[in-house]
Amino acid sequence: MTAALDHPERVRRLVLVDSAGMGRAIPYAWRLVHAPWLGALLFKPTRFVRDRVFEKWEVKKTEMPDKLAYSEYSYAVRIRPGRSEPMKEGMKRFTSWLGQRRRFSNKQLALVTAPTLVLWGDDDRTFPVDYGKRAARLIPEARLEVIEDAGHVCFWDQAESTNKLLVEFLNGD
């Protein structure tokens, strides 16, 4: 979004996938990154905590063929030396105790000139589908595709349909 607003000449097509910045609310647990010891727990979790985050906020279909690989990757990224602290600090810049720090205004969304595909999981528990509806309503050349039976990471829940929509949109004239 920022690139599309700051450098519209460089963005031929834009895809928003369950995107941040479309509303203020976030899960309450994300706000805990601002609490000293709870923030550390969220960003340097045990495998158990990592799996609960995956199941609660990221996907709808918790039993998928690549679940173990994704969970292991996500866990390894967070526990790798030097990784958890930058991730936690990045999340602090993105969030506050009140929710997301940055929300694109109606005026900003109306200024996007690139054709835009807005993809949203119908059961996104991180950012509600209403955020996607708002973006699609305000961006002049936007099209909303709500992915059925999908959570926040809709391309994991419904890889085939999500990829089909992406390829068609990106290859369009």
| Residue 34, both tokens | 């601002």
CA distance readout (Å), 80 to 84, 131, 136, 156: 7, 33, 38, 24
Q: Strands (DSSP E) along 32-159, which ranges?
A: 95-96, 99-100, 116-121, 142-147
**What share of the chain in percent tops pLDDT 70?**
71
Q: Give the chain's mean pLDDT.
A: 82
The residues facing 16 across adjacent strands are: 118
DSSP-based three-state secondary structure for 116: strand
pLDDT in tens, 101-116: 788 999 999 999 999 9
Measured from the Cβ of residue 78, the count of other Cβ atoms closer than 10 Å reads 18
pLDDT in tens, 53-99: 666 666 666 666 676 776 666 666 655 666 566 666 767 777 778 88
The pLDDT-based confidence of 22 (bands split at 50, 70, 90) is: very high
Average pLDDT (131-142) is 97
| Residue 172, both tokens | 């369009």
How far apart CA 33 and CA 96 sit, in angstroms, is 9
Between these two residues, 85 and 100, which has the higher pLDDT value?
100
In contact, 26 and 99? CB cutoff 8 Å: yes
Ordered by start, the domain boundaries in the chain are 2-23+103-171, 28-99
pTM for the model stands at 0.79
For the chain, the distance separating the N- and C-terminal CA atoms, rounded to the nearest angstrom, is 21
152, amino acid identity: H
Measured from the Cβ of residue 27, the count of other Cβ atoms closer than 10 Å reads 16
Residue 132 has pLDDT above 70, yes or no: yes
The fold adopted by the segment(s) 2-23+103-171 is Rossmann fold (3.40.50)
Average pLDDT (126-146) is 95
